[in-house]
Structure 1
Amino acid sequence: MSHTAHIRSHRKPRRSASKVAMRAGVAGGVLSTLAVAGASGSANAAEPVTQTLELPTLTADLATQVAQSADATQQAAANYALQAERDTAAAKAAKQAKADLADAKKKAEAKRKAAEEAARKKAAERASRSAERTTLSASAGTGTSVGTSTGSSTATGSAAAVISFVKAQIGKAYVSGATGPSAYDCSGLVQTAFRQVGISLPRVSQDQSTAGTQVSLSNLQPGDILYWGGAGSAYHVAVYVGDGMFVGAQNPSSGVVEKPLSYDPPSGAVRVL
């Protein structure tokens, strides 16, 4: 036996081919894993690029929303402006309506007062006429008759001309202040009638009731001027035409008419012819 038979060799043992192949496979697997990881890392690294490409789409949508919001704001502003105009117009209309109502009330009040005054005057005239009729009735009871003339009942000369004129005006209108030829008031008719024969009479009833000689109602002659009310304060006049009749411009509803003395007995008479 050799003296070196039990001495171990310091030389490393050779690796077997199978182990080498295994290790190579492991290495290959590791490299493959690294490659996959690298590829995955590369894929992950590419994701921000994909997000960056989507930004223009998001920006366009945002611009659309901003534009729509601006349109809505503008429309709302227009609506507010229109509502403000309507409110202003409504306020103006309400103010005008209030003013019109106040004016209408004022006019209605004025008309009411005028109607009351007219009614008061009319009542006073009726009361005056009633008093005059009472006086005339009392006179009749003492032997004085109204409407029976002891003088001539046939008009001649100027009286005939006056009577012819007033009878020709029968049917024409009564208009306060009118003196013909299409309309008259009571004193306008008398004044115009006597102007036909050259006699100038005062314009109003009060003055015409004192323009001549006072005569009794029982001694009337055609052409005498009849008056209602007091002498100097008469409110109505007419012309006596004979046979118990007179012609006068009575009122707006009757116009110029011929009536008997009993229709509305006069207060007195004057003679100018």
Structure 2
Amino acid sequence: MSHTAHIPSHRKPRQRASKSALRAGVAGGFLSTIAVAGAAGPAQAEPVTQTIEMPTIASNFSAAAAASAQATQQLALDIEKQADQDAAAEKAAKDAKKAHAEAVRKDEAKKKAEAAEKKAKAEAEAKERAERASRSTERTTLSASTGSSGSSSSGSSASAPSSSSSSSNVSGSAASIVAFAKAQVGDAYVSGGTGPNAWDCSGLVQAAYRTANIDLPRVSQAQSTAGTQVSLDNLQPGDILYWGGAGSAYHVAIYVGGGQFVGAQNSSTGTVQRSMDYDRPTGAVRVL
């Protein structure tokens, strides 16, 4: 055996060189693969770019869809609002038309009522003038006839002779009272009325006697005792008739001759000339 055989050699074994070569080959292959991948890279870059851009397109589409939906909703609200406004305007127009028609109807009714009132008033005034003219004529006629008859009856019924002037004065006063009372027939009855077109019972009697310059008490109770009590069978025109007790009478009237009286009876009949049989009085007083 050689002496140098046991001295280790400082050279690397071949196996290591093979491993290095293998490693170098693997490395070269890997780099080649990378190079190939790098060469193929540009051809595949476009699909990758498109894939990246897709979310952006989808996002823009979603925003546009949302804006379109909002615009559609706003349009629907505007249409609904316009419809409400049109309906309100139509209703207001109908109400205005109805109100105008009602106003025209009321105005026509008012005009008709005013025309009817004017016509009725004119007719009433014409009737009143005719009645007053008739009363005036009646008063003149009655004054003349009652004055002459009163003079003769007064002279014949007197228990003692009296002067002609005295008989004339009494008869003239009675004639004036009777004429005035008859001239008021048809006037209204109003409680507390003292004329000229409305009376109560004592107001009419007091006014009639005032034409003969005789002042009577205002109320029927006092008028029923204002003169001398006379029998109902011995009445003369101008005597005061009363109903109820003397001093407590509730109604009075004026005897106008021929068994009749004139009095302001009540609100239903007004001032009337009636027969004593219509409502028999309780008593009478003579003031003249």
Normalised TM-score (structure 1): 0.51
1:212 maps onto 2:227 in alignment: yes
Q: Do structure 1's residue 41 and structure 2's residue 41 form an aligned pair?
A: no
1:99-154 Cα deviation digits (max 9, x unpaired): xxxxxxxxxxxxxxxxxxxxxxxxxxxxxxxxxxxxxxxxxxxxxxxxxxxx9599
Q: How does 1:1-273 map to 2 (within 5 A)?
A: 37-54=44-61, 56-58=63-65, 60-61=67-68, 64=71, 152=157, 156-273=171-288
Report the secondary structure of 2:185's partner residue.
Answer: coil
Structure 2 CA distance for partners of 1:47 and 1:161, relative to 1, 3 Å? closer
**Partner SS, residue 233 of structure 2:** helix
Distance in 1 between the 2:172 and 2:66 partners? 120
Taking only aligned residues, the RMSD between alpha carbons, in angstroms, comes to 3.7
Measure the CA separation in 2 of the matches of 1:239 and 1:199. 14
Give the number of aligned pairs.
Answer: 170
Q: Tell me how far 1:188 sits from its aligned partner.
A: 1.1
**Alpha-carbon distance in 2 for matches of 1:52, 1:161:** 120
Distance across 1 between alignment mates of 2:74 and 2:225: 99
Whole-Å separation in 1 of the counterparts to 2:254 and 2:265: 12
**CA distance 1:247–1:39, shift in 2 (3 Å):** closer
Secondary structure of the residue aligned to 2:263 is: strand
Distance in 1, Cα, partners of 2:263 & 2:53: 124
Partner SS state of residue 217, structure 1 = coil
For CA contacts below 8 A with separation 6 or more, give which structure has more relative contact order: 1
Distance 1:38 1:250 in 2: 129
Closer, same or farther: CA 172–46 of 1 in aligned 2, 3 Å? closer
Q: CA deviation at 1:236?
A: 1.2
Higher helix share: 2
In structure 1, C-alpha distance between the alignment counterparts of 2:195 and 2:219, rounded to whole Å = 15
Fraction of identical pairs, as percent: 54
1:194 deviates by 0.6
Query: Quick check: 1:152–1:221 contact (8 Å CA) kept in 2?
Result: no
SS in 2 for 1:266: coil
Residues 212 and 56 (structure 1 numbering): CA distance in 2 closer, same or farther, change over 3 Å? same
Q: Return the offset for 1:227.
A: 0.7
Report SS of the residue matched to 1:220.
Answer: coil
Distance 1:168 1:52 in 2: 112
Assess, with a 3 A threshold, how the Cα gap between structure 1 residues 42 and 172 changes in structure 2: closer, same or farther.
closer
Q: Which runs of 5+ in 2 are unaligned?
A: 1-32, 85-155, 159-166
Question: Residue 66 of structure 1: CA displacement?
Answer: 8.0
- Taking a change above 3 Å as real, the CA distance of residues 170 and 53 of structure 1, as seen in their structure-2 partners, is closer
Report the Cα distance in structure 2 between the residues aligned to 1:256 and 1:188, rounded to whole angstroms.
11
User: Could you tell me how far 1:228 is from its partner in structure 2?
Assistant: 1.0
Distance in 2 of aligned mates of 1:266 and 1:256: 16
* In structure 2, distance between residues paired with 1:179 and 1:42: 121
Q: Which moved more, 1:257-266 or 1:212-221?
A: 212-221
Unaligned runs of 5+ in 1: 1-26, 79-150
Distance in 2 separating the partners of 1:159 and 1:174: 23
Kindly state the Cα deviation for residue 35 of structure 1 after the two structures are TM-superposed: 6.3
Tell me the distance in 2 between the aligned counterparts of 1:173 and 1:208: 21
Report the AA paired with residue 57 of structure 1: A
